[in-house]
Amino acid sequence: EIVMTQSPATLSVSPGEGATLSCRASQSVSTTLAWYQQKSGQAPRLLIYGASTRATGVPARFSGSGSGTEFTLSISSLQSEDFAVYYCQQYSDWPPRYSFGQGTKLEIK
Amino acid sequence: EVQLLESGGGLVQPGGSLRLSCAASGFTFSSYAMSWVRQAPGKGLEWVSGISGSGGGTYYADSVKGRLTISRDNSKNTLYLQLNSLSAEDTAVYFCAKLRGLRTGPFDFWGQGTPVTVSS
């Protein structure tokens, strides 16, 4: 099983500033890595797939990078609606045994 | 517009069973793999089961293998999850999610979830 580890658990940032979230895989997943945003009481929303491709409708201030075992989600100029929990997920395993990171809570400083 | 609408959740006693449904619309249902993902109260996301577009391939997390059964009816555009031998550890919101591909891929659309509470 591929274990996904996110850091930090909580990140406090002021609106207008940038944020960098990290995700590490226990073994290489190439670029089969996705990022999701989840707001309280809502379903997750796909932000990034293929490690760096923005999903439809996702603002350009969200960007993803990395390959293999190390990945980053960067958010520039944070807006109020960006404060949420972010999860990374690998979809490399076959047969599928998809796994998520434990999440990073992005909170207002 | 893609829509996924789960139903069937509720309160069930330990050892009991439930059948969850997910009605899909807005896309060619049989062309995409589907999955169920759950989230225990205050916890993160856990993938529990997946099924290929044709229904010929079914997959489970080790934590639920043997107790959960995923299926789909492509003529009704509906995904199912049969939950048996439930315990308190199965208490969670269960989301159905569409994968971006026929066999695998990220989860590009999610339903709003149906809550399952296992308690006596």
How confident is the model at residue A75, as a pLDDT? 98
Mean of per-residue pLDDT scores for chain B: 96
Which tokens hold the place of A44?
A: 């997750």
How confident is the model at residue A92, as a pLDDT? 93
CA distance A83 to A76: 12
Predicted confidence (pLDDT) at residue B103 exceeds the cutoff of 90: no
Predicted confidence (pLDDT) at residue B97 exceeds the cutoff of 90: yes
In this structure, are residues B84 and B62 in contact, taking their beta carbons and an 8 Å threshold? no
How confident is the model at residue A83, as a pLDDT? 95
How confident is the model at residue A18, as a pLDDT? 97
How confident is the model at residue A14, as a pLDDT? 96
Which chain B residue is nearest to residue A50, measuring alpha carbons? B106
End-to-end Cα spacing for chain A: 36
Instruction: With a cut of 50, list the residues of chain A below it in pLDDT.
Output: none
Per-residue pLDDT tens over the stretch B58-69? 999 999 999 999
Q: Which of A38, A89, A98, A104 to mutate to test the interface with B (most CBs of B within 10 A)?
A: A98
Per-residue pLDDT tens over the stretch B37-78? 999 999 999 999 999 999 999 999 999 999 999 999 999 999
Residues B75-113 as b/e (b if ≥16 CB within 10 A, e otherwise) read: eebbbbbebeebeeebbbbbbbbbbbeeebbbbbbbbeb
Q: What are phi and psi of A82, to 5 degrees?
A: -85, -10
Which DSSP symbol is given to B1? -
Confidence band of B98 (pLDDT split at 50, 70, 90) = very high
Q: What are phi and psi of B112, to 5 degrees?
A: -85, -10
How confident is the model at residue A70, as a pLDDT? 98
List of E strands, A14-61: 19-25, 33-38, 45-49, 53-54
Which chain B residue is nearest to residue A56, measuring alpha carbons? B108
CA distance B92 to B54: 28
Alpha helices in chain A (DSSP H): none
Closest Cα of chain B to A80: distance in Å? 22
CA distance A6 to A15: 22
